[in-house]
A = this chain, B = another copy of it.
Amino acid sequence: MRKVEICFSPELIHLHSLQGKIVVVVDIFRATSTMISALANGITEIKTFADLEECRSMKSQGYLIAGERNGLTAPGFELGNSPVAYLNEAYSGKKLAMTTTNGTLAISKSAEADEVLIGAFPNLSATIQYLQGKEQDVLIHCAGWKGMFNLEDSLYAGALVKSLESSHEPSEDGALAMKALFEKEGHDLKGFLSKASHAKRLQNHNIESDIDFCLTLDLFSMIGKVENGTLTGSEI
């Protein structure tokens, strides 16, 4: 059987071996949910940046620019980090440059893996189907919140471990714990996550529709994959 493991924070990723594995990077509220929404709605490619200025400079190269800091649209950016902004193919055909608080770091720290996918609830089943068709072990890399464990990324990881149980077994304790937690709380993700620290922060920004979107399963039959620093989508 193949293996599946979870890394709860980019600050712990150095303890894991990435070589020969497929890494799934997850930042549910909201970076990876937004990326999947954008790709499923016609954005042709996404480049991610840690630095605001570097991201902003991509506008001159024809990119739509999206920037968020601490949950709000960064000054001078066309878009923030809302996944619903891309619905109805609002920006179809465009290229996107994004910078976010936690997600970008997790992607850049995953580069040694065989493949890097972007995970979100709206394409959970597509990601599972893709992973089950591959030979490699899987590592779920949670972006976390400023280096700390967060509930929404960890529950997504638990959902993925649970869904992979016929093909991949947990190889460390984090995967066992989050599978059990998803079994208990997965029937009411929104209710459970409403207690989470990050969801509380987001509630202050009036983005109920974003939260609903980020917790909706299987809207899209598409995976997101990072290759040579660029993220693209593929129908599955």
Contact = CB atoms under 8 A, between A and B. Distances in A.
Interface of A: 6, 8-9, 11-12, 15, 145-151, 154, 170-174, 176-177, 180-181, 183-185, 192, 195-198
Nearest to A192: B180
Number of copies: 2
A128 B136 CA distance: 45
A184 to B, nearest CB: 4
Contacts of A11: 11-12, 15
A151 B179 CA distance: 12
Contact of A147 (B12, B146, B176): B12
Contacts of A184: 180-181, 183-184
Given A12-B11, A15-B11, A181-B184, A174 B195 contact: no
Contact of A148 (B146, B147, B172): B172
Q: Top 9 A-B pairs ranked by shortest CB distance?
A: A151-B173, A184-B184, A149-B174, A15-B147, A150-B173, A181-B181, A173-B196, A173-B197, A15-B148
Nearest to A183: B184
B180 A149 contact: no
A106 to B, nearest CB: 15
A235 to B, nearest CB: 34
A173 B149 contact: yes
A194 B8 CA distance: 22
A148 B174 contact: yes
Contact of A173 (B12, B148, B176, B180): B148
Contacts of A149: 6, 8, 12, 172-174, 177
